[in-house]
Structure 1
Amino acid sequence: MAHLLGMDSVSFTVGTRTLLEDVSIGVDDGMRVGVVGPNGAGKSTLLRLLARRQEPDSGRVTHAGGVRVGLLDQRDDLPAGTTVRDAVHGAVPDHTWARDARTRGVHEGLLGDLDLEADVARLSGGQRRRVALAGLLVADHDVLMLDEPTNHLDVEGVAWLAEHLADRYGGGRSAGQGALVVVTHDRWFLDAVCTRMWEVTGSRHGDTRGGTVLPYEGGYAAYVLARAERARQASVTAEKRDNLLRKELAWLRRGAPARTSKPRFRLDAAAALIADEPPPRDSLELARMATARLGKQVLDVEDVTVTVPVHGDVAEQDGAVPDGGPRERVLLDDVTWRLGPGDRFGLVGVNGAGKTTLLRLLTGEVTPRSGRVRRGKTVVVATLSQDVTELDELGDLRAVEVVERERRTTAVGGKEVTASQLVERLGFARERAQTLVRDLSGGERRRLQLLRLLVGEPNVLLLDEPTNDLDTDTLAAVEDLLDGWPGTLVVVSHDRYLLERVCDRQYALLGDGGVRDLPGGVEQYLELRRAARSAPAGGASSSAAPGGRAASAAPSAGPSATPDPADGAAPQPSQAEVRAARKEVARIERRLQRISEQEARVHAEMAAVATDHTAVQRLDADLRALAAEREQLEEEWLLAAEVAG
């Protein structure tokens, strides 16, 4: 592959902290690189250095002759007074870019709901982000660098972008296709797009050495496996070093001989072992704290209609207002949705469909125009908002003081833990625990707010885009926490990886005022959206642009709703059938686990009697029988799981 650009022994320091030290990496034609690492490790800095937007303190950044580099920065630099058309295409005439299929695809995927003559200054932050991304995608760059491109994109937009980039920088084409480097915390996106990973380790607190970049082959899943193997090997090496160090120290403690010049080589060897001890990886532990008891009734949304005011030309464009009527749009239209104890629901939907409004309805912040929301007597609700604005009024407090205001000590695993201990377990070093809230990074603020909510011992947790600003290690810790969450959970997110990991069922807001059950999960939602876009204009399945009222490809339904027979969907199973199916799923999973254990034992026996032909034949027959039973059980599991949801 042709070399496009790279770093040679690059170091970069911010203040007194060395972010990158002696880093040497390269980008070749055809590479699709995903960049991950802790918040503040230097991922964005790495991209800016590679793109020559910043100069390194030492070392050099090299570009092949004539290479064209495009960078999507997290900072918005679209000037006011620029139209969407000019920001994307500049002075290129419409007839020139409109005949290019790739450019038309970018318009459909990112700009379908925007007026090309609109001033970018009047757009929302998410819309401006999409305009900047579209401008890069329609240009002809040899190397494209994207810093958090999935921010402000919904599930559908993330899926479109992944398909576009995988086709543009892969798709089986030969050399000359260019290269992609992307920083993102969206793990599904990393697996769908990237063929190799860079981990930016960052400099650790108390360590004088700077961070580095560790390369891994494969997407995110392969990276996780490779990192686990690297950690295992490091653990083995550390254990050997510790054993050797204990021997050396024991020898040095033997008294007078250790103080003479004769054993100097022993002293030097012990000093070298101590000096070579690597710093531990930053740890993060989200504690499983006590949860208030839930009764049988949790949250019931009954026949609820919610409207929001619409101002100016938007109302007229959306068709949300009849002539002379009040300027308002219906977000939820006669919706019934019930949440029981232990339910774990994920919410997806087009931007502006009302996902956040639905969460605020559950908390009581939004009053419905009609219908009601019934709450159980023991319900304690906690909400993690998108922007963590709740911490703004606490900006003059230190991180540990924020938790202390809620509770000075908390029961964790049957033990009393202080606020300072909790904050430290959450990944805040002691000096960061004393940092003012207003000086914390976005990821640190989100972690702190989550801990603040958990010490209040809620039994209903509402998470609105919880993955914003969190690195992949923190996300894994959050998912581990939510895996064991005993209460009721509702998650609004565009992160498919998170939804599929922590939620048992997904629901969609398609912009038609309803809440639709998605037995097929996120993939079913994407199919519905594709069907809505391909339906004839004015048909029953037509869908408006984000922010407008739309009719979905099928009627919406809550957990207790019955689908319209015209929808063509199968009738919803009864609660008794669902309970029976869940028991059957549990039974089959237990049997499958036993089969796995039996197969392991048979394989071990076969290895022990490998020279006994008769015994091997008998054991092979046992294996075939177990495999046949496994196949039958897996088919039964699929049928039961479809009913159980």
Structure 2
Amino acid sequence: MNYLSVENIAKAYGARKLFEGVSFGLAEGEKAALVARNGSGKTTLLRLLAGIEAPDTGRVTFRKGIRVEFLSQEPDLDPERSIIESVLAAENPMSKALIQYEEALENMEDTEAYQRAFDAMDRLKAWDFEGQVRTVLGKLGLHQVKQKIKSLSGGQKKRVALAKILISSPDLLILDEPTNHLDLDMIEWLETFLSQKSITLLMVTHDRYFLESVCDTILELEDAKLYRHPGNYSKFLERKAERQEVEATNVDKARNLMRKELEWIRRQPKARGTKSKARIDAFDDIKKEATKDLREDQLQLNIKMTRLGSKILEVHKLKKSYVDKQLIENFNYVFKKGEKIGIAGANGSGKSTLLRMLTGLEEPSGGKIIIGETVQFGFYTQTGLELKEDKRVIDVVKDIAEYIPREGKGGDLSATQLLDRFLFDGDKQYTYVSKLSGGERRRLFLCTVLMANPNFLILDEPTNDLDILTLNVLEDFLMQFPGCVLVVTHDRYFMDKICDHLFAFEGEGQIKDFPGNYSEYRVAQVEEAAQRKLRNESMVKTKAKAVEKPKEKTKLTYAERLEFEALEAEIEDLETRRETLASQLEAAATDADKIMELSSQLEAIQSELEEKEMRWLELSEYAE
């Protein structure tokens, strides 16, 4: 059953053509993602589908009777409403009943109002709906449901809008960058939620794990045309490579034909007949195909980094707290050359605060930060995107430097050459900042950060609004970057590809230095939680047995007493060995074989330790 039909639509702004002849459909239960370069018209296409803008030609048709909801990058919410009022703004009886019930809970002395609200919930069978609302709000970190929209940050507003759409359960979801402003736990939950078979989805996202695990169709917008790729992100990469190979063959054929046609057209007299004109028109088509550039633009940067000394950055007993919250407590770390560290944690846990303290933009509550004399930070921040709207792209870069040094031969790199490598080619360099898309602005700002020739990059959410091509080339650059990299990002794919290890903000001011990437950290978390659960269950069973069964003896035998005393020493020894192995594992962060060996030893010791602890508990019941 087709939910959406798009027929031959086109859109242009003046001389700038975004797309033309675009046609596709979306079936019930299908989950499609739209991918394209920044500035290609992804958001515009979604706005056309949502009816906010009209196409220049063509038409968009939805199946009669279905409900469609659109999540924009800048949602329009009533600032005077509360969070709970906003997410339940849909005109349906259950939403109204739930709002009345929430109000009654706050005014329990009015027993009649409470009873009416309770009866309405019962009559409409709205209790499951209430549970769904609380789950969605909780998973998206929206706990203060009475808070007014006008007091929220931009990221919180985006989450409110997302919650509203998910709770309203439309037939078709159209989402523009739904993972922006979500922390990693929220993204993983949303991934699971949207994977439900009953959901029909069209979204723009650059989260490649999302594309891999949720989507069954990829729609690629390139050179004003739309290509449909059945399958997930992996299948899309395979099919795109196949298409480019075919196109390359066609271009070779066209170039050969073009050479022959060029010889013919040069031989013709100025006055040409009808047949000759038709051939000239055909030549123009051949020329267009033959001169097509099939090369993927690449962000090839061989900038010469400022020398980094042996002393880089040291953090000793670092603390940061506010009146009601402890963000960082006794954090210690000494940075080493070439380290690439990711930072993971919930929104509001202190990730960006740590970056600001390291760069001197914010004072710690305690501890010391020692910066080496040769360290030159390049700080990419969310608040740093304050580019002057009336400036041209080339002037923005030239304001920082006309040239930057480059490794090897070939001389310095000019501002024009650098911009070209950052995918700002030709006329794009003379475009005003006011005309750039969000992703193009971020790419330009990243260019200005690197133009200062840093040797320690600190990146706060650099992946927001960047297209997949830019993400790929940025990743390649960072992997080759010889200096230090410290990055906060919600892009799990990016973090897995770039980072050697993580600073994991685990709450209550605790930061764990984990020797591995984000996916490995999540696996370790799951295993640790499973072990805790087993230990707790074992403790409960042991205590239950002690309560249920009367003690058949009142004291230990001589042999059991010797065993009991020996167990105390053995447990202490095992705990010491466990700590030693953990330290060795941390030190072996770059040696994969060593990590596997030490992990195996650590697992065996943990298992033996748990066994002996249980035996000690059993014997302790009878020890005097």
1:273 maps to what in 2?
286
Q: Deviations over 1:57-93 (max 9, x none)?
A: 2222112121111111112211022121111123432
Q: Relative to 1, partners in 2 of residues 1:50 and 1:499: Cα closer, same or farther, differing over 3 Å?
A: same
1:109 maps to what in 2?
139
Whole-angstrom distance in 2 between the partners of 1:422 and 1:259: 47
1:200 maps to what in 2?
221
Tell whether 2:351 aligns with 1:355: yes
Tell whether 2:13 aligns with 1:3: no
- State the secondary structure of the residue aligned to 1:466: coil
1:607 maps to what in 2?
none
Query: Partner amino acid for 2:230?
Result: E
Query: Partner amino acid for 1:157?
Result: M
2:394 maps to what in 1?
400
Question: Percent same amino acid at aligned positions?
Answer: 33
Pairwise CA distance, 1:568 = 7.5
Q: Return 9-18 or 143-152, whichever deviates more.
A: 9-18
Q: Relative to 1, partners in 2 of residues 1:22 and 1:499: Cα closer, same or farther, differing over 3 Å?
A: same
Query: Partner amino acid for 1:106?
Result: V
Whole-angstrom distance in 2 between the partners of 1:268 and 1:56: 29
2:237 maps to what in 1?
224
Tell whether 2:476 aligns with 1:466: no
Pairwise CA distance, 1:213 = 1.7
Pairwise CA distance, 1:260 = 8.7
Q: 1:163 aligns with which of 192, 198, 220?
A: 192
Counterpart contact for 1:11–1:23, Cα < 8 Å? yes
Whole-angstrom distance in 1 between the partners of 2:18 and 2:391: 27
Pairwise CA distance, 1:490 = 0.7
Which structure dedicates a bigger proportion of its chain to helix?
Answer: 2
Q: Deviations over 1:245-268 (max 9, x none)?
A: 223434666x68999979948756
1:379-528 alignment runs, 5 A limit: 379-389=375-385, 391-392=386-387, 394-413=388-407, 414-415=409-410, 416-519=412-515, 521-523=517-519, 525-526=521-522
Instruction: Give the TM-score, by structure 1 length.
Output: 0.74
Q: Return 424-433 or 265-274, whichever deviates more.
A: 265-274
Whole-angstrom distance in 1 between the partners of 2:530 and 2:514: 18
1:545-564 alignment runs, 5 A limit: none
1:130 maps to what in 2?
159
- State the secondary structure of the residue aligned to 2:341: strand
Query: Partner amino acid for 2:401?
Result: R
Whole-angstrom distance in 1 between the partners of 2:445 and 2:456: 16
Tell whether 2:323 aligns with 1:294: no
Counterpart contact for 1:156–1:526, Cα < 8 Å? no
Counterpart contact for 1:257–1:263, Cα < 8 Å? no
Counterpart contact for 1:286–1:478, Cα < 8 Å? no
Q: Relative to 1, partners in 2 of residues 1:385 and 1:566: Cα closer, same or farther, differing over 3 Å?
A: farther
Q: Relative to 1, partners in 2 of residues 1:523 and 1:501: Cα closer, same or farther, differing over 3 Å?
A: closer
Query: Partner amino acid for 2:312?
Result: V
1:314 maps to what in 2?
none
Tell whether 2:248 aligns with 1:244: no
Pairwise CA distance, 1:640 = 7.6
1:559 maps to what in 2?
none
- State the secondary structure of the residue aligned to 1:93: helix
2:32 maps to what in 1?
33
Q: Relative to 1, partners in 2 of residues 1:566 and 1:117: Cα closer, same or farther, differing over 3 Å?
A: farther
Whole-angstrom distance in 1 between the partners of 2:273 and 2:431: 48
Q: Relative to 1, partners in 2 of residues 1:379 and 1:4: Cα closer, same or farther, differing over 3 Å?
A: same
- State the secondary structure of the residue aligned to 1:23: strand
- State the secondary structure of the residue aligned to 1:99: helix
Whole-angstrom distance in 2 between the partners of 1:457 and 1:374: 21
Pairwise CA distance, 1:224 = 1.9
Counterpart contact for 1:34–1:219, Cα < 8 Å? no
Q: Return 332-341 or 239-248, whichever deviates more.
A: 239-248
Q: Relative to 1, partners in 2 of residues 1:246 and 1:330: Cα closer, same or farther, differing over 3 Å?
A: same
- State the secondary structure of the residue aligned to 1:78: coil
Whole-angstrom distance in 2 between the partners of 1:261 and 1:273: 20
Counterpart contact for 1:384–1:462, Cα < 8 Å? yes
Q: Relative to 1, partners in 2 of residues 1:385 and 1:363: Cα closer, same or farther, differing over 3 Å?
A: same
1:297-336 alignment runs, 5 A limit: 297-308=311-322, 310=323, 320=324, 329-336=325-332
- State the secondary structure of the residue aligned to 2:203: strand
- State the secondary structure of the residue aligned to 2:588: helix
Whole-angstrom distance in 2 between the partners of 1:534 and 1:89: 40
Q: 2:147 aligns with which of 109, 118, 133?
A: 118
Bigger Rg, which one: 2
Whole-angstrom distance in 2 between the partners of 1:452 and 1:42: 25
Query: Partner amino acid for 2:257?
Result: L
Query: Partner amino acid for 1:122?
Result: S
Pairwise CA distance, 1:232 = 1.6
Pairwise CA distance, 1:291 = 0.5
Query: Partner amino acid for 1:189?
Result: F
Pairwise CA distance, 1:121 = 1.5
- State the secondary structure of the residue aligned to 2:147: coil
Counterpart contact for 1:404–1:419, Cα < 8 Å? yes
Q: Cα RMSD (Å) of the superposition?
A: 3.3
Pairwise CA distance, 1:436 = 3.4
Query: Partner amino acid for 2:85?
Result: D
Q: Return 148-157 or 291-300, whichever deviates more.
A: 291-300
Whole-angstrom distance in 2 between the partners of 1:270 and 1:130: 54
Counterpart contact for 2:255–2:290, Cα < 8 Å? no
Q: Deviations over 1:345-374 (max 9, x none)?
A: 010111111111111122122222221111
Counterpart contact for 2:514–2:586, Cα < 8 Å? no
- State the secondary structure of the residue aligned to 2:39: coil
Q: Relative to 1, partners in 2 of residues 1:267 and 1:433: Cα closer, same or farther, differing over 3 Å?
A: closer
- State the secondary structure of the residue aligned to 1:52: coil
Query: Partner amino acid for 1:435?
Result: T
2:13 maps to what in 1?
14
**Structure 1 moving runs of 4+ over 6 Å:** 256-263, 527-536, 566-570, 640-643
Counterpart contact for 1:155–1:494, Cα < 8 Å? yes
Query: Partner amino acid for 1:409?
Result: Y
Tell whether 2:592 aligns with 1:571: no
Pairwise CA distance, 1:472 = 1.1
Pairwise CA distance, 1:226 = 1.6
Q: Relative to 1, partners in 2 of residues 1:436 and 1:61: Cα closer, same or farther, differing over 3 Å?
A: closer
Whole-angstrom distance in 1 between the partners of 2:67 and 2:274: 63
Pairwise CA distance, 1:412 = 3.4
Counterpart contact for 1:288–1:484, Cα < 8 Å? no
Q: Relative to 1, partners in 2 of residues 1:125 and 1:291: Cα closer, same or farther, differing over 3 Å?
A: same
Q: Deviations over 1:71-126 (max 9, x none)?
A: 11112211022121111123432345442354443233124x42222212212221
Query: Partner amino acid for 1:3?
Result: N
Counterpart contact for 2:35–2:220, Cα < 8 Å? yes
